[in-house]
Amino acid sequence: MSIFQIAAPLLSITALFSYVNFRFFRLPTTIGVMLIALVVSVAVGGATHFGFGEDLRGHVRHVLERIDFDETLMQGMLSFMLFAGALHLDLGDLMEQKLVVAVLATAGVLLSTFVVGSLVYLILDALALRLSYPFCLLFGALISPTDPIAVLAILKSARVPKSVEIRIAGESLFNDGVGVVVFLALAEIAVGRADITAGRVAELFLVEAAGGAIFGFVAGWIAYRLLRSVDNYQVEVLLTLALVAGGYALASALHLSGPIAIVVAGLFIGNQGRQFAMSERTRDHLDKFWELVDEIFNAVLFVLIGFEILALEFSRPLLLAGLAAVPTVLFARWLSVAVPVTLLRRHVGFRRGELTVLTWGGLRGGISVALALSLPATRERDIIVAVTYTVVVCSIALQGLTVQKAVQRFFGETAPREPATPA
């Protein structure tokens, strides 16, 4: 089966679901298409129990296995969506919130990893689904970072005050890099390939995260110099495409954090490049192009999340474990935000209700599913994948659909908004 034979029906289904959602449900596109795909998947799965649709389910599972969710997202779509998100984040606003973003993206992830891992260990033990503590911590590491793709998609429709938006968006763009480093370290420990040492974790962090940031800055600076030397929007759009695709691939080949590299490069181009290397015409075309790329990839990704249930095996204990993990992950998120907020109150101002919005706005998404699917095929992987999928779907559906109400409750209908795009 060729790439075109896989992409063609996937894009067609995504377009159809987007149309149905817009005409009849009017939900945010990403949530709407995921829920429609989920309902269709459950319907197909239910039909097989009555002797119908077995061939269709088998075909869909075959296609999903050929797609390789982990490879498609982590080594393909992710780079484009991260760049599109970072492109419109004002660096000046981000620097004003750098302390909060840095603490939430590092200490917050580590605290959440420990809390989730410890509580899930007890939950699984109570359900007779025993999982070793290192594997439970591994689950905590992959589920703790807020997903930038899901978060940024929801923020577009939520009238969040600018300072709160920058904190949520900035944290989500950077904490996945920290989460991946912790995940890689714990993965080596869980499968018995390494002993747990602070030195090993520090080495991974320096090489992956710090190295990725430096690489992203250098790649962004080179692209910026090239953009300054031409005034043709077709060429300049192609240069940003080359920066994203080529930069992410090269960073991964060098064992650096591709996500962090692309976020830094996107911030550089979106601020320095937009102001000093582009004409007004180029800025307009660049914004429209990357907005369209972001919308298409987001819709396709969430359709994949909805269909992924057909490729998973759920038992009653696994479903119960996943449902029990939903409030557990939310509690860990609240704690990982509450502790930094309490410690930073003397130095940083926080709005009333911001703790609740930061907690409820911390969505989990495709990155968590991709990391879970990247584990070797074992009994432990099956448990982690099933629980992860349940938490992600509940997070996107429940939190994604209600975060607007949380914002309105604490910040009112007319929360002040400044332009998201740097001048």
pLDDT 10s digits, 208-241: 888 999 999 999 999 999 999 999 999 999 999 9
Is residue 200 scored above 70 in pLDDT?
A: no
Is residue 112 scored above 50 in pLDDT?
A: yes
Q: How many other CB atoms are found less than 10 A from the CB of residue 189?
A: 19
Can you tell me the mean pLDDT for 4-33? 91
Give residue 181's pLDDT. 81
Is residue 196 scored above 60 in pLDDT?
A: no
Structure confidence by residue, pLDDT tens digits, 123-172:
999 999 989 999 999 999 999 999 887 787 777 777 778 888 899 889 98
Exposed e or buried b for every residue in 288-325, given b needs 16+ CB within 10 A?
Answer: ebbeebbbbbbbbbbbbbbbbbbbbeeeeebebbbebb
Burial class (CB in 10 A: 0-12, 13-18, 19+), 253: exposed
Give residue 288's pLDDT. 94
Type and span of the H or E element at 223: helix 211-228
Token readout for 20 is 């149905």
Is residue 420 scored above 60 in pLDDT?
A: no
If you average pLDDT over every residue of the chain, what do you get?
A: 87
